[in-house]
Structure 1
Amino acid sequence: MPSQSTGQSTGYLYALAAFTIFAAQDGISKHLGVSYPPVFVAMLRYWAFAVFVVLLAARSAGGVKGAAFANRFWLQASRGVVLAVQIVLSIISFSIVGLAHSHSIFASTPLIVAALSVPILGEKVGWRRWSAIMVGFLGVLVILKPDENGFDLTLLITFAGAVLLALYGVLTRLASRTDTAMTSFFYTGVPGAFALTLVGPFFWVNMAPVDWGWMLALCITGMSGHYLLIRAFELADAVSIQPFSYYQLVLVSILGVSLYGEVLSTHMIIGAAIVIGAGLFTIWRERMTARQRRLENL
């Protein structure tokens, strides 16, 4: 039987693989989002994801019926829809803002999670984490680079995506208090697919044959990435997994520069460094606080 440290290390490898795949997924999303309506792209992706979720649920102990049973149905359904909207905003952002620029702002997600955890989860955030949150948001302002003409309003789409991603994370934590991980995963895919199906057909366009191949790749990366992330969370704690999202920022920046000719401006690099530093500190403080609680409960 593998030791706890071995299991943790294996979890890190799964996380590394998952975020590598997610980076490739974002590159494909940009390619498709430039040529086709983002809602249409997200809908096709979600159809495949929903099928994958149902198949996994069918193999679980309680089957599809057990996975679909939620103690807080509207909470689970709403978090699934929130993620679907966030993915649409992400594809829009990748298309018009760029991969590197988008992810430098998405790096603020752990900071927003910490801020939202106070009113939604009732958690206590000390002055150190509040300070890190404020510093991180200053980093976001550096990335947004307001000048005499004001903010670039297109970047508000990206920031809205970061807020929704953080809201999804907080709602997922809230849902985990009363429902199983399988139930939460079921509602990650199915409500989003349902919501996008209500609007996606209005944006239907004929896709070039070669791009159907890219769409298939997008669906495969989405399913495999989520599966590997699930395995990572089974073996390692969530706080330890979070920093790997910054590794994804590095990869998508490389993809953006090498494949799409994006330019990493000085203010974007400095702002991203500030945000990442503040985010890592926030994650570290969260880990220390959780460890202290466990010691107090012994």
Structure 2
Amino acid sequence: MSEQNTRAGILFMVVTTFIFAAQDGLSRHLASEYNVYMVVMIRYWFFAAFVISVASRKAGGMRAAAATSVPWVQAFRALLLVAEICVMVFGFTLLGLVESHAVFACYPLLIAALSGPVLGERVGWRRWVAIGVGFFGILIILEPGAGVFQPEAVVPLIAALMFALYGLLTRYVGLRDSAATSFFWTGTVGMVAMTAIGAWFWEPMSGPDWAWMILLCITGALGHYTLIKCYEMAEASAVQPFAYLQLVFASILGILVFNETIRMNVALGTVLIVAAGLFTLWRERRSKA
């Protein structure tokens, strides 16, 4: 992997995090006005169309993309992702972008903690210390003993746990299926599941909000495209630390557009979580080297 490709991969990851942060802002607005299930359903219609379009252009077409040796696992991880998106978008409506992303930033630590029991990977004591530091950061954000604990703050934590399990299952199926196959199952199964649920919660949408919805769908497809290009150019271990920029971009969006604020405990807890996450990624890269 050349240094030039790595730099290009990092640039694509930065662009991806910005696009996904914008997508979160659009989701926050639309889910505040309409039912979360309907918003995610329409988003998945466009996502599935994008996935099918990509699959049909590759050798073997959709038949090759759908071929898998672990269909139940692929279906479960697709359902897990769509459920996580619904939970996280619901979290945006309860807590806003800043605090939701501050808690959600712990998902790499959850992946590290669960990689042992789920995948049988070895987690050394240094990474366990980092995981402990990260969860201490979560406690600082949640303030469970301050008398002002919000039960709503657990929502993005549940989303982080679901996304961590999704990430581990993606690793698992990645040993057996191609990335194109996993991508195909993620989009198509998610679309079917959300249509079965979201159709019952349909609400009329205003003209301006349809424009925002179309933009949400475009950012969803564009973000996945730039993420694919990112991983084509650089190793995951080289670009993954830059994924934390989504927290930065989403927080800026929350402050400037939605008039959110960053409380001191949220800032301190987020610093601990991100520092622990970056250390965990560095240790993982060292151990592979």
The TM-score with structure 1 as length reference comes to: 0.95
Structure 1 position 180 matched with structure 2 position 146: no
Q: Write the letter of the residue equivalent to 1:235.
A: M
Partners of 1:225 and 1:270 lie apart in 2 by 29
Q: Give the alignment partner of residue 226 of structure 2, picking from 225, 228, 237.
A: 228
The aligned residue for residue 16 of structure 2 is 18
* Structure 1, gaps ≥5 residues long: 292-298
| Secondary structure of 2:113's aligned partner | helix
Percentage of pairs with the same residue: 45
Q: Write the letter of the residue equivalent to 1:48.
A: F
Partners of 1:37 and 1:147 lie apart in 2 by 33
* Structure 2, gaps ≥5 residues long: none
The aligned residue for residue 27 of structure 1 is 25
The aligned residue for residue 169 of structure 1 is 167
Q: Give the alignment partner of residue 277 of structure 1, picking from 272, 275, 278.
A: 275
The aligned residue for residue 136 of structure 1 is 134
Partners of 2:239 and 2:34 lie apart in 1 by 33
CA displacement, residues 178-236 of structure 1 (integer Å, 9 cap, x when unaligned)? 00010011111111111111110111100111100000000000000001001111111
The aligned residue for residue 195 of structure 2 is 197
Partners of 1:80 and 1:103 lie apart in 2 by 22
- Number of equivalent positions: 289
Partners of 2:155 and 2:259 lie apart in 1 by 21
Partners of 2:7 and 2:59 lie apart in 1 by 27
Partners of 1:58 and 1:66 lie apart in 2 by 9
Note if contact 2:79-2:190 (Cα within 8 Å) is conserved in structure 1: yes
Q: Write the letter of the residue equivalent to 1:83.
A: L
The TM-score with structure 2 as length reference comes to: 0.98
Q: Write the letter of the residue equivalent to 1:92.
A: F
Partners of 2:277 and 2:88 lie apart in 1 by 20
Partners of 1:43 and 1:244 lie apart in 2 by 29
Q: Give the alignment partner of residue 235 of structure 2, picking from 212, 215, 237.
A: 237
Q: CA deviation at 1:150?
A: 6.5
| Secondary structure of 1:243's aligned partner | helix
Higher mean alpha-carbon deviation, 175-184 vs 232-241, is at 232-241
Partners of 1:115 and 1:150 lie apart in 2 by 29
State how 1:255-270 maps to structure 2 within 5 Å.
255-270=253-268
State how 1:1-298 maps to structure 2 within 5 Å.
4-149=2-147, 151-291=149-289
Q: Write the letter of the residue equivalent to 1:100.
A: V
